[in-house]
């Protein structure tokens, strides 16, 4: 069970409160977690990754166990504490005003 | 008609303002989609409960929202059902993919960038939504970078009418200061296959075959900032409007100049007349009088606020040329707000109601064709768009 923390506005769009929990085949990767997230919440497609290129939207970043995974390739396995559901996978929006 | 519903898009959410036919007392609902830019909302003429909204964010991109209960609840359309068994929304409606050439699989064209080089087309956001006059499931979207999309399934899937972007002038289109958006879509009520669109810094285009082929409709426009002031395309058109009973007559607020055509864009002539400034963004036509036109002049392209700090709607009852300031109820000192291109509209009640919103967050309404104005609501986020629906 993977725990995913979404930014505030995406939690509202997905109509969830708190962490999202997902079943993902082991070992979980950046891509498999995001695929599972979008399968369960189609409304989030296009909001985290581009529809076609699957590139991360530029103002979002991915963190796990205090490490920045934003620039890692999609096949990158996530650390064991995330795979075990002990630590969450964080999707974080850039802090910017306006 | 029992009343009206004014749909307000702002920098930080959407609001609905509802009143009965007297338009005396208003109920304000919102913010919907709090914190998101709502570029535009538009209700369906054929179904007053159906409203489409363009929800946009620098972080999360474009989302389309739809209401089927007059704005009480909203869902991204699609998926057949609106919620999963667990109660999660299943809609998926933000996929705007530019058409590609079947030969190369590449975008049909590039367009000109600010620096004069060619630039690939990139989808950024939906500027304007225009539902069909007859079918609530058919809706057009004008997007940035400029293109026209159509959905026939209530906003779930979108397909580009790529003949527009594929016009031979496409590579010469370039963005204005605010981007290269397709901001106006006018559906001719008498000719189902005729559509007018206006594109920032490209101009007006018309189709007579439902969007397959397009013709520039800019003859008579003069833009001194262009290398060829009378060029076929490249004019910075801010907004166009028509009256349903006389759709061959269109009015235009341009980047300098108010214009009129009586032959569906074949030839335009200037009707700025005695306006204090012929620069502005919105323009609209009285619901019952096709010769009565409204604009909101601002001082200049460098100073986007009303001349002398006096917020005035100008009305012409002669189809342009002769204009009168409408001031009753509007601030006549120290007012430095702007009214954006999609932020003015009229209702079809009698007498005609006129509404506009400002970048200062006020929405003003007149229930007598502009003679008297009152603020319906103040202190909203900056207003991006104002549309109205008549309620049965």
CATH number at residue B167: 2.130.10.10
Q: How sure is the predictor about A98, in pLDDT bands with cuts at 50, 70 and 90?
A: low
Compute φ and ψ for B259, nearest 5 degrees. -125, 165
Backbone phi, psi, residue B107, to 5°: -55, 150
Question: Does residue A48 lie within any of the structural domains?
Answer: yes
In a domain? residue A40: yes
The owner of tokens 């399968």 is A39
Of A40, A42, A93, the CB nearest to B79: A42
CA distance B364 to B357: 6
Cis ω on the peptide bond leading into residue B76 (within 30° of 0)?
no
Contact between residue B180 and residue B174 where contact means Cβ atoms under 8 Å apart: yes
- Provide the domain count of chain B: 1
pTM listed for this prediction: 0.95
Are B242 and B252 in contact by the 8 Å Cβ rule? The answer is no
User: Would you give the end-to-end CA distance of chain A in angstroms?
Assistant: 36
CATH number at residue A66: 3.10.20.30
Q: Tell me the ipTM for this assembly.
A: 0.93
**Residue A27, strand partner residues:** none
Q: How many CA atoms lie within 13 A of B19 on its CB side?
A: 19
What is the predicted pLDDT for the residue at B2? Answer: 87
| Residue A52 pLDDT | 81
Distance CA B354, CA B295 (A): 11
Helix (H) or strand (E) holding B112: strand B110-112
Of B137, B106, B268, the C-alpha closest to B198 is B268
Tokens 């363009």: give the residue: B54
Partner-chain residue, chosen from A40, A43, A52, that has the shortest CB–CB distance to B92:
A43
Give me the tens of pLDDT residue by residue for chain B, a chain 392 residues long: 689 999 999 999 999 999 999 999 999 999 999 999 999 999 999 999 999 999 999 999 999 999 999 999 999 998 655 566 677 777 777 899 998 876 666 667 899 999 999 999 999 999 999 999 999 999 999 999 999 999 999 999 999 999 999 999 999 999 988 899 999 999 999 999 999 999 999 999 999 999 999 999 999 999 998 999 999 999 999 999 999 999 999 999 999 999 999 999 999 999 999 999 999 999 999 999 999 999 999 999 999 999 999 999 999 999 999 999 999 999 999 999 999 999 999 999 999 999 999 999 999 999 999 999 999 999 999 999 999 999 99
Q: How far apart are CA B129 and CA B52, in angstroms?
A: 7
Range of the domain at A76: 2-93
Beta-carbon separation of B89 and A59 below 8 A? no
B61 inside 8 A of chain A by CB? yes
Task: State whether residue A83 is helix, strand or coil.
Answer: helix
With an 8 Å Cβ cutoff, are A9 and B94 in contact? Answer: no
Domain of residue B312 covers 3-391
Residue B41 β-bridge partners? B53
CB contact under 8 A, B61 and A96: no
Nearest CA to B271 among B248, B254, B290?
B254
How far is the alpha carbon of B103 from chain A, nearest alpha carbon, in Å?
19
What sign has the CA pseudo-torsion B288, B235, B306, B129?
Answer: positive
What is the per-residue pLDDT across A12-68, written as a single tens digit (0 to 9) for each?
Answer: 999 999 999 999 999 999 999 999 999 999 999 999 999 888 999 999 999 999 999
Task: Give CB contacts under 8 A, 24+ apart, made by B296-301.
Answer: B296/B339, B296/B344, B296/B356, B298/B338, B298/B339, B301/B255, B301/B256
List of chain A residues whose C-beta atoms are within 8 Å of the C-beta of residue B78: 42
> DSSP of B166-227, one letter per residue?
TSTTGGG---BTTB-BEEEEEE-SS-TT-EEEEETTTEEEEESSTTSS-EE--TT---TTSS
Q: With contacts defined as CB-CB under 8 Å, which chain A residues touch B76?
A: 13, 43
Q: Of chain B residues 191-230, which have a CB less than 8 A from chain A?
A: none
Cβ neighbours of A1 (radius 10 Å): 9
Question: How far, in Å, CA of B163 to CA of A91, rounded?
Answer: 39
Q: Which phi and psi angles does B3 have, rounded to 5°?
A: 175, -165
Instruction: Tell me which residue has tokens 């009640």.
Output: B349
Closest residue by Cα to residue B72 from B95, B49, B91, B55: B49
A48 CB neighbours in chain B (<8 A) are 60
Contacts B59 to A, Cβ<8 Å: 7, 9, 57, 59-60, 93-94
Domain-located, residue A98: no
């Amino acid at each position: 069970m993977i725990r995913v923390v979404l930014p505030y506005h995406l939690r509202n769009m997905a109509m969830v409160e708190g962490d999202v929990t997902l079943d993902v085949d082991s070992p979980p990767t950046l891509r498999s977690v995001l695929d599972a997230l979008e399968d369960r919440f189609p409304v989030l497609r296009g909001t985290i990754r581009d529809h076609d290129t699957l590139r991360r939207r530029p103002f979002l970043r991915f963190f796990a166990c205090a490490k920045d995974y934003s620039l890692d390739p999609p096949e990158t396995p996530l650390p064991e504490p995330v795979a075990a559901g002990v630590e969450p996978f964080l999707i974080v929006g850039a802090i910017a005003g306006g | 008609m029992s009343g009206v519903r004014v749909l307000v898009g702002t920098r930080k959410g959407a609001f609905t303002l509802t009143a009965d036919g007297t338009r005396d007392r208003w109920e304000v609902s919102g913010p919907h989609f709090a914190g998101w830019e709502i570029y535009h909302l538009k209700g369906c003429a054929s179904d007053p409960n159906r409203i489409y909204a363009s929800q946009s964010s620098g972080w999360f991109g474009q989302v389309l929202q739809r209401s089927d209960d007059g704005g009480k609840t909203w869902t991204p359309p699609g998926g057949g059902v609106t919620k999963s068994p667990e109660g999660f929304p299943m809609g998926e409606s933000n996929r705007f993919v530019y058409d590609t050439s079947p030969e190369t699989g590449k975008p049909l064209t590039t367009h000109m960038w600010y620096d004069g080089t060619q630039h690939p087309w990139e989808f950024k956001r939906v500027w304007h939504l225009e539902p069909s006059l007859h079918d609530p499931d058919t809706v057009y979207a004008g997007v940035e970078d400029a293109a026209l999309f159509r959905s026939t399934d209530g906003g779930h899937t979108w397909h580009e009418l790529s003949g527009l972007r594929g016009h031979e002038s496409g590579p010469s289109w370039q963005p204005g200061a605010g981007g290269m958006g397709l901001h106006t879509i006018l559906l001719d009520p008498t000719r189902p296959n005729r559509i007018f669109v206006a594109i920032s810094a490209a101009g007006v285009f018309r189709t007579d075959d439902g969007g397959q082929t397009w013709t520039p409709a800019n003859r008579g426009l003069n833009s001194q900032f262009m290398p060829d002031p009378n060029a076929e395309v490249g004019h910075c058109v801010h907004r166009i409007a028509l009256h349903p009973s006389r759709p061959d007559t269109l009015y235009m607020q341009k980047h300098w100049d108010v214009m009129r055509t009586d032959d569906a864009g074949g030839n335009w002539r200037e009707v700025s007349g005695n306006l204090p400034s012929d620069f502005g963004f919105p323009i609209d036509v009285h619901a019952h009088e096709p010769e009565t036109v409204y604009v909101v002049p601002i001082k200049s392209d460098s100073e986007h606020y009303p001349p002398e700090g006096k917020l005035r709607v100008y009305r012409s009852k002669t189809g342009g040329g002769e204009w009168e300031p409408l001031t009753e109820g509007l601030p006549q000192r120290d007012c430095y707000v702007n009214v954006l291109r999609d932020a003015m509209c009229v209702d079809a009640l009698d007498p005609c109601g006129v509404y506009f919103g400002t970048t200062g967050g006020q929405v003003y309404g007149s229930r007598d064709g502009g003679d008297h104005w009152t603020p319906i609501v103040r202190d909203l986020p900056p207003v991006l768009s104002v549309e109205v629906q008549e309620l049965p």
